[in-house]
Structure 1
């Protein structure tokens, strides 16, 4: 995969380093707006990137890159991805995939029409812990509850509270806010494990410009609900907890960097019970702990997977990931619209 990096922000800086150990991946080009050309050139010098562009169309027409990685503000995802696909490039699109469901559908259909790949760069889909969850979810029996919390005080929140120029991460005009920026990880876990919910209702804490600085999303499934909390205005221990009538799974970390998983389920060969300190009767259980292997960077595995799928033309695996990304956008949009949070159309 010959990769062009679109943007010069923090996420692109992280990606440039994260791809270092990925086989068959060349850092071929980098794009920046004219005012950021110096930063792009500095990255090019640091990583021996041969092509530097300040004109996106020129990059798409002239670059030897076959794939673009778009690490721009959320509202730029759709137009930049569409233009790349129309020029025959594969696309890696930072999360959230798009701001609108119909845009996600359009990009999916366009990629298939052009015979090209389009991926959402959301780390958890390429995480060993998530894979282990999917393997073991049946041990929990009938699912009764899902509780997810990803809360971290944003480095940009103080500037937002102070007024003046609004950071993009807290500006609805650029599709900012906690739901699309941070709670999206929780939604991916739920959709990946249980499929699309029947309904989605969001209860946001809104800032003065109407952006959701934090909020709780309730996803309704047959027989249970999933409660997903995301906050950029406050801190909390982060976790994932999925429970059924036969057991539970628990991750005690931020959802985007999950590295350890505990699975506890009823022992089918031991019907004895004991009473706990609260006087409750407790079934005999089996506990299995899983620890993911060490990683070079939290983003490395996703780029390795993208490179493999492109090199091997593995459209089946790619489109499976794509279907989940499109479904997640649908969930986010339904929740956002019901909560009265408006995003402007590009």
Structure 2
């Protein structure tokens, strides 16, 4: 896979050290802003990337790559993904896919017209531990309750309280607890159960954005609570409860560090074959793009659309307007 990285921020700097372990992926270009040009060129030199750009249109004219990885702030995902698809590039887009469900549908339509790959980078769906957790949840009797708690005090929260609005807390830029960290909980649950019957979101709102909140998903006989907080902390773990046992996930739902299966006693497991949380997803993306596995792409898009429907319903329920 010949790849261009659109963005040069934190997630990109987390991703690039992984490339040495993914020989099928060649990073051909990187795009940053004019303001971050010095940093972008430093990254380019450090990782031996052939070209760096500050203009998205100029970047997309290059024939050196066929796939783009979009890792810019949330509010830019839709516009940049659309430009990439229009330029004939396959698209891997960071979570959240878009700010609105209709935007994702528009991207899906465009990708289908051009027979291009459009897929969301969401770590937990590809982790080996997640596949094992899904299997374990089928063997603990009838599922009754799922509780996911991803609460992590944001390093940007103090500045936010003081009046400095950074993207993580900016409603115009798709910020907030639901979009940032609770969305990992939503992806985990949708991967297990699919589309819920009802959605409610009870949020703590400051300056028109949710700094924390409790999302309730009703699946009939199964009730789900997803907690995401950037204004407070708690032990980060998730629990899947069945009539005969339970599965406890240790750590955030974007890494799934390990898990325990509890019946009369406790068994602990960790099946990771690589320490980097993004390894499994990008290994799979490379295979999908090389094989043109459009059935898999369609399946993952259906999953992403359910997530976006939940997010849109939840934000409306809380009276939060993004973008």
Alignment of 1:237 onto 2:216: no
Structure 2 stretches lacking a partner, 5+ long: none
For 2:132 and 2:64, locate their aligned partners in 1 and report how far apart those are by CA, in whole Å: 38
2:87 maps to: 87
Q: Is the 1:30–1:52 Cα contact (8 Å) retained in structure 2?
A: yes
The aligned residue for residue 78 of structure 1 is 78
Equivalent pairs, count: 323
1:148 aligns with 2:127: no
Question: Is this contact kept in 2: 1:19–1:303, CA < 8 A?
Answer: no
Cα distance, 1:290 vs. partner? Answer: 2.2
Q: Is the 8 A contact 1:191 1:328 kept in 2?
A: yes
Task: Judge which range, 311-320 or 6-15, deviates more.
Answer: 311-320
Contact in 1 for aligned 2:250/2:257 (Cα 8 Å): no
Measured at CA, do residues 296 and 251 of structure 1 come closer, stay the same or move farther in structure 2, by a change above 3 Å?
closer
Shift of 1:72: 0.7
What stretches of structure 1 of length at least 5 have no aligned partner?
266-284
* Stretches (4+) displaced over 4 A: none
- The reply to whether residue 47 of structure 1 matches residue 47 of structure 2 is yes
Q: Distance in 2 between matches of 1:226 and 1:197?
A: 9
3-state secondary structure, aligned to 1:333: helix
3-state SS, counterpart of residue 214 of structure 2: strand
Match in the other structure for 2:138 = 138
Q: C-alpha deviations, 1:193-242, integer Å up to 9, x for none?
A: 011101111000111x2100000000011112100000011111011111
- Please name the residue that 2:298 is paired with: 319
Displacement of 1:15 in angstroms is 1.4
User: CA–CA distance in 2 between the matches of 1:210 and 1:293?
Assistant: 39
List aligned pairs for 1:136-285, cutoff 5 A: 136-163=136-163, 165-207=164-206, 209-265=207-263, 285=264
Q: Does 1:301 align with 2:280?
A: yes
Which of the pair has more CA radius of gyration? 1
Please list the CA deviations of residues 139-190 of structure 1 after superposition, one character each: whole Å capped at 9, or x if unmatched.
1222111100001011111111111x31000000001000010000110111
**TM-score where L is the length of structure 2:** 0.97
Q: TM-score, normalised by structure 1?
A: 0.90
Please give the secondary structure, in 2, of the residue aligned with 1:59. Answer: helix
